[in-house]
Amino acid sequence: MPITDILTENARLYGDEVCLVELNPELQELSRRVTWKEYELVERDSAPNRHRREITWREFDETANQIANLLLSRGIGKGNKVAILLMNCLEWLPIYFGVLRSGAVAVPMNYRYAADEIKYCLDLSESDVLIFGPEFIGRVEAICDDIPHVRIKFFVGDSCPTFAESCERLMVHCLPTNPNIPLTEEDDAAIYFSSGTTGFPKAILHNHMSLTWSCKVEQKHHGQKRGDCFLCIPPLYHTGAKMHWFGSFLAGSKAVLLRGVKPKWIIQAVSDEQCTIVWLLVPWAQDILDAIDRGEINLADYKLDQWRLMHIGAQPVPPSLIRRWKEKFPNHQYDTNYGLSESIGPGCVHLGVENIHKVGAIGIPGYGWEAKIVDENGQDTPQGQVGELIVKGPGVMTCYYRDEAATRASLKDGWLYTGDMAQQDEDGFIFLVDRKKDVIITGGENLYPVQIENFIRAHNSVKDVAVIGLPHDRLGEIAAAIVEVKEGFTLTEDELNKFCEGLPRYKRPRKIIFAGIPRNPTGKIEKPVLRKRYCGESVVKTQIEK
């Protein structure tokens, strides 16, 4: 069935129940800083509570219908593309489902994109409509004359710019009833963009079956029930956040959209909203633990007994991090989720809450999925040998939109070639080794940066680490570790070199750089940024031990 049918059913069964809450702690903190005299000038009854907003399932459904009817009134439906450029907000998901209800294809866009990247993605996806928020007025205005195919621009928010139309003002005149556009599982539903970690992003096309299957996989893995409450922090334009929410969506349970990643904000939201499931990225989990260690967070001050599951995805997870987490939260279930935008986000491989003894692995094939590790010829590798991870299942993308060559390279006989290097242990658990393109070849030896990063991250003073290859005139490449030190800690190059003696000699980083680690909104290390920053210099001639 199309994914929009789930929303119809939730509105019918649970119409008056709250389904989405938006929290903006930064606005709340700003309001607390208002002086007494300034506060008296504010008419409290007329000023909306902007730091916490909520909607019911019926309001969600009716708003989606209004969006769908607005698009249809402008001739937008099947065959059209509607780009969504919004920060996480209460309007995001109803707009997304409204686009789907119209029969058009939703095109979520990265809110970090610069103007030229927005234009690139609008052009690549052949978007006819752009729905955007106030944070993007300048960027959209800068490219207005260069995107003539985007014939409709709807603005979400106050003070609509002159080059766009107010979405809210137009929606008032649209019926809140379902337009009942015929949809099937095979119909195109959404275009997601790859993270762009190896260059400009690719446009990934999914149909309704992919989205619906993602709902089933997530609920199967994490057992969302009506009484659960999911805390959603990552950006909704990315498959990771949305597809984890899909489990709650299928269960008809509440979700909280938190705008901000400060440790105190996360813990406070879990406590205030009685969240039971939280999906974190590695840096956020580490920041929470560090804040607890520094005494900035006293867990006894919060209501956290209901919190049953913390899970992580989007990147390899250091076992040392989970050991620390279980020390602070011994009653939590834990899961690791692996996926790609090409496999409709998380779940094609997952650890499983019952397999915490295998922390470090990304897990086993997810519900309804197959996975195997192959060599360069597509043949199965022997157990324990490194090869490329490939996956197969109902959530595999339809294609890379308008890129037949890339599609042929990634999709072969129904298998999606992930580009991730992995190996399997004797129990069938898959361990991610690294991205195929990130492998460092030094003196003929293959080095997998993730293995080195996991080792260094176990040092008590290390907050984050990224290992990249630097050019070398004799060995071709050497491993360089960019290391970010925890706040309040010190670490010298000699101390870290001594620590790295625990690694085999050929795996030890030959250069150490103390600096910050750039990550994208989905938590992935931006290695192209680091390579440009550190490899753009003259060829490194570090003294190498023979």
Q: What is the pLDDT of residues 314-323, one digit of tens each?
A: 666 778 889 9
Distance CA 416, CA 50 (A): 43
Q: Take residue 412 and report the two structure tokens written for it.
A: 């072969």
Q: 449 and 430 in one domain?
A: no
Amino acid (1-letter code) at residue 230 = F
How much is the mean pLDDT over the chain? 89
Q: 138 and 61 in one domain?
A: yes
* pLDDT tier at 522, thresholds 50, 70, 90: low
Q: 425 and 387 in one domain?
A: yes
Q: Take residue 374 and report the two structure tokens written for it.
A: 């192959």
Which domain CATH number covers 505?
3.30.300.30
Give the pLDDT confidence score for residue 265 in this predicted structure.
97
Would you say the C-alpha torsion 255, 257, 258, 263 has a positive or negative sign? positive
Which of 232-246, 268-282, 346-360 reaches the highest mean pLDDT? 268-282
Give the pLDDT confidence score for residue 223 in this predicted structure.
94
In a domain, 327, yes or no: yes
Boundary residue ending a domain (418, 435, 452): 435
Q: Take residue 266 and report the two structure tokens written for it.
A: 């996360």
User: Which region, left, alpha or beta, applies to residue 296 given φ > 0 means left and ψ of -120 to 50 means alpha?
Assistant: alpha
Give the pLDDT confidence score for residue 420 in this predicted structure.
86
Domain count, the chain: 3
* pLDDT tier at 350, thresholds 50, 70, 90: very high
Boundary residue ending a domain (399, 417, 435): 435
Give the pLDDT confidence score for residue 351 in this predicted structure.
93
Give the pLDDT confidence score for residue 540 in this predicted structure.
38
User: Which region, left, alpha or beta, applies to residue 223 given φ > 0 means left and ψ of -120 to 50 means alpha?
Assistant: left
Distance CA 57, CA 9 (A): 10
Which domain CATH number covers 368?
2.30.38.10
Q: 421 and 488 in one domain?
A: no
In a domain, 314, yes or no: yes
Q: 457 and 423 in one domain?
A: no
* pLDDT tier at 523, thresholds 50, 70, 90: low
Average pLDDT of the residues in 90-96: 97
Average pLDDT of the residues in 457-466: 90
In a domain, 499, yes or no: yes
Q: Which residues contact 49 (CB under 8 A, 6 or more apart)?
A: none
Ordered alpha helix ranges (H), 82-207: 92-101, 115-125, 137-143, 167-171
343, 217 in Cβ contact below 8 A?
Answer: no
Q: 355 and 237 in one domain?
A: no
Residues composing the chain: 546
Spacing of C-alpha 519 from chain mean position? 12
What pTM was estimated for this model as a whole? 0.83
| Helix H or strand E encompassing 207 | strand 203-207
Q: Which residue has the tokens 């790859």?
A: 194
Q: 431 and 498 in one domain?
A: no
Separation in Å, CA 93 to CA 7, 90, 195, 200, 266: 11, 7, 21, 26, 21
Amino acid (1-letter code) at residue 30 = L
* pLDDT tier at 507, thresholds 50, 70, 90: confident
Question: Which segments within 473-544 are labelled E, that is strand?
Answer: 476-485, 511-514
Q: 522 and 450 in one domain?
A: yes
Task: Output the CA angle 44-93-107, nearest 5 degrees.
Answer: 130
Tens of pLDDT along 158-210? 999 999 999 999 999 999 999 999 999 999 999 999 865 445 789 999 999 99
Beta-carbon-side half-sphere exposure of residue 404 (alpha carbons within 13 Å): 0
Residue 501 belongs to domain spanning: 443-535
Would you tell me the crossing angle of helices 239-251 and 208-222 to the nearest 10 degrees? 70
Res 355 pLDDT > 70: yes
* Selected residue with higher pLDDT from 39 and 247: 247
* pLDDT tier at 411, thresholds 50, 70, 90: very high
Average pLDDT of the residues in 535-542: 46
Give the pLDDT confidence score for residue 83 in this predicted structure.
98
Q: 431 and 463 in one domain?
A: no
Tens of pLDDT along 39-92? 433 333 334 567 899 999 999 999 999 999 999 999 999 999 999 999 999 999
* pLDDT tier at 503, thresholds 50, 70, 90: confident
Tens of pLDDT along 151-166? 999 999 999 999 999 9
In a domain, 407, yes or no: yes
Average pLDDT of the residues in 292-318: 90
In a domain, 272, yes or no: no
